[in-house]
Chain A
Amino acid sequence: MLWVDKYRPKTLDQVLVHQDVAQNLKKLVTEQDCPHLLFYGPSGSGKKTLIMALLRQIFGSSAEKVKVENKTWKVDAGSRTIDLELTTLSSTNHVELNPSDAGFQDRYIVQEIIKEMAKNRPIDTKGKKGFKVLVLNEVDKLSREAQHSLRRTMEKYSAYCRLILCCNSSSKVSEAIRSRCLNVRINAPTEEQIVKVLEFIAKKERLQIPSGFAARIAEKSSRSLRRAILSFETCRVQQYPFTSNQIIPPMDWEEYIFEIASDIMKEQSPKRLYQVRHKLYELLVNCIPPEIILKRLLFELLKKLDAELKHEVCHWAAYYEHRMRLGQKAIFHLEAFVAKFMSIYKAFLIAAFG
């Protein structure tokens, strides 16, 4: 098992960061009238961990006995019936899924599953009915329609089914949905907190870490705890005992984008654009999300540019990323950004050096 999973805290009392949030969550669920929750925050900050620990707090260890199922729903879409297949993770008391995996059919899925859950409510020995919890991941990727259709459903079934929504970017969740939830912000852990977690893992694994080594990993993690734990484990595989100046290997895709940035700083020509296109494709087929590619490329370029160019290049990065959202093919917009950059940079070089 990877360390990220092996050392994921199981209960709200065991968490090493976000202890305050964990204690608050515990108080929130002491009564059975807890509102719907929306967890938001950057990737790798610990949302999922808290949600799983919260489920355990509510339902006890039964929340950990989960089964993965590939379920098919028959949904009535007006004139025809469509089959929708989606992977769900469920225990007796909760169901978890990624509704955005259903693409533009996502709205049918959330409706169906909530209705189904409302039908099969758990009943205790005294004949009292309980509620189930539905965990929806990546709600920021839900279509507008799906978000709209959730609104009334969230109110209507609130006695039977509590929702826990999870996303990275809460600006993309509609105001009406946010108004229906208690919003729980999970910030990225600070570098000191990350160091604390790494030291905890080192102790459990009986590893010696030279001073400053954990801090270097934390610094390179962009405050993502997952990222830090993953690279700590990679370092362990590459070389142990650790040395304090040991290389912390970057991710392959980051290395690749570093090369793209150097390529386009060196030469601005149609030929170079064509070469770069292949590299961009390569990244896309390896499932690196296009906005991540664009942001990383910008990050590399900013390290090398003059102050006056930074404004301009950032502006165009924002511009093309927005266009990418509205369009269909990410590659067009990534390439457009590269071409734009080349033209700006070339003009700058000519103005400066003739």
Chain B
Amino acid sequence: MAPVMQSSQPWVEKYRPKQVKDVAHQDEVVRVLTNTLETTSCPHMLFYGPPGTGKTTTALAIAHQLFGPELYKSRVLELNASDDRGINVVRTKIKDFAAVANALRRTMETYSKVTRFFFICNYISRIIEPLASRCAKFRFKPLSEEIMTSRILYICNEEGLNLDAEALSTLSSISQGDLRRAITYLQSAARLFGSSISSKDLISVSGVIPQEFVEALFAACKSGNFDLANKEVNNVIAEGYPVSQMFSQLFDVIVEADDLSDEQKARICRKLGEADKCLVDGADEYLQLLDVSGNTMRALCNMSEEFSY
């Protein structure tokens, strides 16, 4: 018989807080929610904020705390609005669910509430106003380095890992406020490099582009030699580095450069923004990076912004 793999959860799931009070950093959210849970007058809620900041974790924890493990299954319905099957399904499912809840109410006098909605999204601006205005809104912020560090230290302790101060600060900074990413990097580094993990190990699992690639492209743009820049662009693509990542690292180099005028910086950054949007639309990575490099070269070498033909 084929060997069967025993399953256990990746660390991100293993270390998902079960209680609202254990959700790190989102103090304001946690305070209001704990309050709500104590008084049990729970409004509809809308959670928004970037990935890996605790939205789903909090919603699940509230539901668990409200109902406990036994009732949870019958009283919580999880829907994925973007796999909607049209609004119809959402509607009928919720109706059925409300009916169940109604039936429950008759038998269990203590539960007087019918249905509460928790909405979760990344971008508040994409939620229609009538929906947003019916909810208590909670913003989940990217986690600060301190908070990340304390959660990571907790996990290191549980798993018997050893991170020095430099490694810890690297891990927080490369994860950019996304705790899920930090935990995944940590687990991968632990598997690859054993229990003593250095800053370099973390960078190598994170997919951050080594600074020399960014510098090489920047230098090629400075040189004014188009073919050289094209060669560097080809190299970045062949190495498989994500161009969106290249844009953000290039952006850091430009902003910090002290030998550039504000106008030069503005010209370069405007183009970076436009090209980033094109990537989101699905445009080709090579062509966008090449266009950005050409534009950067023209700005650095004080060539005209307008094309001549």
Contacts and interface: CB of A to CB of B under 8 A. Distances in A.
Interface of A: 24, 27-28, 30-36, 40-42, 45, 58-60, 62, 75-79, 92-93, 107-108, 111, 122-125, 128-131, 145, 148-149, 151-153, 155-156, 158-160, 169-172, 175-176, 179-183, 185-188, 222-223, 291, 294-295, 298, 302, 307-312, 314-315, 317-319, 321-322, 325-326, 343-345, 347-348, 351
A34 B10 contact: yes
Contacts of B191: 27-28, 30-31, 34
Given A78-B85, A179-B51, A187-B240, A321 B284 contact: yes
A124 to B, nearest CB: 4
A45 B240 CA distance: 9
A93 B7 CA distance: 13
25 contacts: A27-B192, A28-B191, A33-B11, A33-B14, A42-B237, A59-B3, A76-B89, A78-B84, A78-B85, A78-B87, A108-B85, A130-B7, A148-B80, A160-B7, A172-B279, A179-B181, A187-B240, A310-B227, A311-B303, A314-B290, A318-B278, A318-B283, A322-B283, A325-B283, A343-B309
Contacts of B196: none
Interface of B: 1-14, 50-52, 56, 78, 80, 82-89, 122, 178, 180-181, 184-185, 187-188, 191-192, 205-207, 226-227, 230, 237-245, 275, 278-279, 281-288, 290-291, 294-295, 297-298, 303, 307-309
Nearest to B9: A159
Nearest to A33: B8
B10 A33 contact: yes
Given A152-B56, A179-B52, A315-B307, A185 B207 contact: yes
A154 to B, nearest CB: 10
Nearest to A148: B82
Contacts of A62: 2-3
A76 B184 CA distance: 34
B17 to A, nearest CB: 14
B285 A171 contact: yes
Contacts of A180: 12, 180, 184
A179 B240 contact: no
Contacts of B181: 179
Contacts of B7: 32, 129-131, 159-160
A34 B284 CA distance: 32
A344 B52 CA distance: 48
A128 B88 CA distance: 39
A253 B207 CA distance: 34
B286 A308 contact: no
A105 B291 CA distance: 33
A32 B5 CA distance: 7
A159 B5 contact: no
A138 to B, nearest CB: 13
Contact of A171 (B87, B242, B287): B242
Which of A148, A151, A171, A175 has the largest count of B CB atoms less than 10 A from its CB? A171
Contact of A36 (B10, B14, B205): B10
B287 A124 contact: no
Given A180-B12, A311-B226, 15 more contacts: A27-B192, A42-B238, A62-B3, A78-B88, A124-B6, A153-B83, A155-B56, A158-B13, A182-B205, A183-B206, A188-B239, A311-B303, A315-B307, A318-B278, A321-B287
B184 A176 contact: no
Contacts of A348: 308-309
Contacts of B207: 183, 185
A131 B245 CA distance: 33
A317 B233 CA distance: 15
Contacts of B245: 171
A295 B284 contact: yes
Nearest to B238: A188
A307 B295 CA distance: 14
A334 to B, nearest CB: 13
Contacts of A186: 240
Contacts of A343: 309
B226 A181 contact: no
Contacts of A291: 284, 287
Contacts of A125: 1
Nearest to B10: A35
